[in-house]
Structure formats: C-alpha cells, structure tokens
Structure 1
Amino acid sequence: MNEVWTQQPLFGITVTVAFYVAAQRLNQRFRWLNPLLVASGGIIVLLLVFDIPYEDYSAGGDIITFFLGPATVALAVPFYKYASKLKGQLLPIAAGVSAGLVCGMAAVLGISILLGASEQIMLTLLPKSVTTPVAIEIAKSIGGIPELAGVFAVLTGLIGSIIGPSFLKLCRIQSDVAIGAAMGTAAHGIGTARILRDSETKGSISAFAMGLSSMLTPLFCMPFIWWLQ
C-alpha cells in the first residue's frame, strides 16, 4: 500500500466512511451486530495487517473526530421535540442520573483498587460514562490521561450500547423513562444513538440524561478525588 497516500487526510476519511457504511449494511441483515464495533474493529485490523501507523490514519480520522461535538449536540433534537411530554419526569430522571453516576464512579474505583491500579488510572476512569469530548477534558483537568480517558469512554459506550437494551429487558424494565435514563447515563452518546433506533421517546430521555450526566460528573468527581488524595 502506498505509504505516501496513506498519510493524506483523505485516506483516514475514506477508510472510516467505507467501513461504517459496510457495518451499517451488515447490521441491516444481522441486527445483533453493532455497527460502531464492527467499523472500529475493521479499521484496527486493516491498520495492523498492512502495518499502517495510527498517525497516518489519524490525519483524516481527526477531521471526523472534529464533528463528534456537533453530532453529540444534535442528539438534543429528540429531547426538544418531546420536552413538553417529559416535564413531569425531570426530577425522577435527575435523581436516577445522579444515583447512576455515583454508583458507577464508586464501582470503578472499587474495582481499580482491587486490581492495584495507580491513582492516575483511577482518575482517568472516573469520567468514563460521559461523552468522549467531555471525558477527555475532565480527565485532563483532574490529573488523568486524556487520551486513555477517550478510549475508556468509547469502550463504555460500545459495551453499554451492545448489552444495555438486552440487560434492561432481562430485568423486565419496560418504562421508557427508566430505559432512556439508564442508557444515557451509562452509555452516553453511543447508547443514546442505539436506543434512538428503537424509540424517539427513549432516545430523547437518553439525550437529556447524557447531557445532565456531562454537567454533573465534574461535581460528583470532587469527593472521590479528595478521597484519593
């Protein structure tokens, strides 16, 4: 493969779009396949097989990453659409999001301590459940590793989008409010995009929960940071 060509931004953009389109088509036939997981895995395999440096791919991949912020903000559209119907549910959603964030942070710190993780890794893991750009900035401000925080956030969203709906169904949770709040809190934008395919109502609640968790996470991180110090 032409090394000079792979260093051009067009390479990263073309590869990303091609793999995602292919993953979407596979998902139409095999609904259990997560498009984002398939596309990400395919790109990783391609880079490894042809020994293409990640820096070459990121020349174009970073351009797509730039649009992550606007795409995340666009998830607020479903919430705006159903805002009038959700006014009476705001307090329960806020309480659920707060409880989910605190439990998630406590769980990740407990597991990290048991596995002997360093303090910096623990700080990096704290914002894992918020959308990637926010997780990166929070990790940077509290002494974590921003790049690794982004990886943890993406993995959290992927895992949540894959097992979240099935797990909630297994638990016999049928409320749109409960499902939306759980997905938005635990799996941020990736989970919201997944649940939006099932229901705009669930997606709108998930979008609100995701935005609220992004605002509350820095606040809830503070007691855990003080405890670590």
Structure 2
Amino acid sequence: MLHELTSNPLFGLMLSIFVFLAARRLAARVKLPILNPLIVSILVVILILKLTGISYEDYYVGGGMLNMLIAPATVSLAIPLYQSFHLLKHHARSILAGIFAGTLVSTLTTASLSVLFHYNQELMASILPKSVTTAIAIEISAKMGGITTVTIIVVIITGIIGAMFGPTVLKWSKVEEPVAKGIALGTSAHAIGTSKAMEMGKVEGAMSGLAIGVTGLVTVFVAPLVLHLFSSLL
C-alpha cells in the first residue's frame, strides 16, 4: 500500500513543493543565512526518505518532474533583464569585464585546489563548471570527461553557499552598487544566487540573470583551457 502511494508521481512532486514552501516560511520568520530554503528543503526531504524507508527511485518519479522547469525558469530571467536593459547598455564594459574576471578567478582557483588536493583529471573536470547553472554545467562537464553527478552536487552546493553568504560578503566589502551586487551573485552562484539577488532588488536580479548566461558562455571556453593547462600538474 505504501509503495503504491510513494511511487505515484504526485507523491515526490507534492512532497518537494510542500517542504520548500514550509522552508520559505521558516526562512521568512527566522532571519538566518544558514536557513536557506533550498538547503533546508534538501535536508528535510532526505530525512523523510531515510526515516520512512522510501527509496530515492520512488521519490524521484515525481520529484524529477521539477527538473523540467529548470530551462523555462532560466529563460524567464530575461524578463527583469529586459526591464533594466538601459543599465546593461550603460555599464556594458564594466559588466562584461566583471563577469570575465569572476569566471577566470573561479576556474583558476578551483583548478589550483584540485592540484593541491591531488584530484584526478576526471574529478577536476567535474568541479570546474561549479559556478554556472546546472543545465550548462552538465554539458561542460560531460564534454571534458567529468562525472555529471558530481557536477550537479557541486553546482548546488556552490549556489547555496553563494546565496547564504554572498550578501554578507558584499556588505563587508562595502559594495553598494546594485549592478555590481547582481553581477557578483550571478557570476559566482548562478540561478540560486540570482534568486537571492532578485530579493535584493530588480536591478540586482536583472544583472544576476544576465551574468548566468554570460558566465556559462565564458566557462564553455575557459574551463577546457584551464583543465588542459593544469592536467599536467595532477
């Protein structure tokens, strides 16, 4: 009886939605960065599956349906970008320079840490595209011979950490320009960071959405080059 219930596509879907909405309400009441709705939802769902003995396969029958929304959700970020297009034209050079610099620093730092901790080439390829959105990161990782499962995990962790601590780092760094805040969050923490940027303001959200696409494009070219340069050091 339980298996028939949990294997129904609606089970995983409704569980994911209900837990996330509850986590959002908790985050709204308790203003702590660590209580990010996404990370709380992940931990709660894992706990429920462990305590009830429900298999991940049964849960994913419905939970996986949410994956279909990744692409349209990413495309929808173009709406706030269109509304702030005048800012893009005015700050074009600064925006592109900031995104390129952020992407280059991210990939070089990741590669350096991979060498430091003696990762093999496959693992390095898996984590290099950690700062781009999942759909793009999977393709980059696969082309470089990485493990896509590891890539997904690293991308999620990167986004959560960026959304949790990014605003605090920007505050400590005394970054007050909305355009700069949005570019920083989008370049370093992709879609999850963008969701936080949109909470901060329309300009921040629009610039962060722009950064997702440009960062993905730059990473397509930069990541393989960095992998090639550092692979001899592994």
TM-score (norm 2): 0.94
Shift of 1:63: 0.7
d(CA) in 2 for partners of 1:71 and 1:183? 17
TM-score (norm 1): 0.96
Aligned to 1:10: 10
d(CA) in 2 for partners of 1:223 and 1:36? 32
Shift of 1:13: 0.2
d(CA) in 2 for partners of 1:55 and 1:82? 42
Superposition pairs for residues 1-229 of structure 1, below 5 Å?
A: 2-32=2-32, 33-227=35-229, 228=231
Shift of 1:183: 0.3
Shift of 1:4: 2.5
- Report sequence identity in percent: 35
Contact 1:133/1:150 (8 A) holds in 2: no
Contact 1:127/1:217 (8 A) holds in 2: yes
Shift of 1:86: 2.6
Contact 1:192/1:203 (8 A) holds in 2: yes
Contact 2:111/2:227 (8 A) holds in 1: no
d(CA) in 2 for partners of 1:39 and 1:170? 28
CA RMSD of aligned residues (A): 1.2
2:168 alignment partner AA: S
Shift of 1:184: 0.4
1:77 alignment partner AA: I
Count of residues in Structure 1 that have an aligned counterpart in Structure 2: 229
1:14 alignment partner AA: M
* 2:146 match: secondary structure: coil
Shift of 1:61: 1.3
Which consecutive residues of structure 1, in runs of 5 or more, have no partner in the other structure? none
Contact 2:124/2:227 (8 A) holds in 1: no
Shift of 1:121: 0.6
Bigger Cα displacement from structure 2, 48-57 vs 115-124 = 48-57
Give deviations 1:179-198, integer Å, cap 9, x for gaps. Answer: 11110000000000111011
Shift of 1:153: 0.7
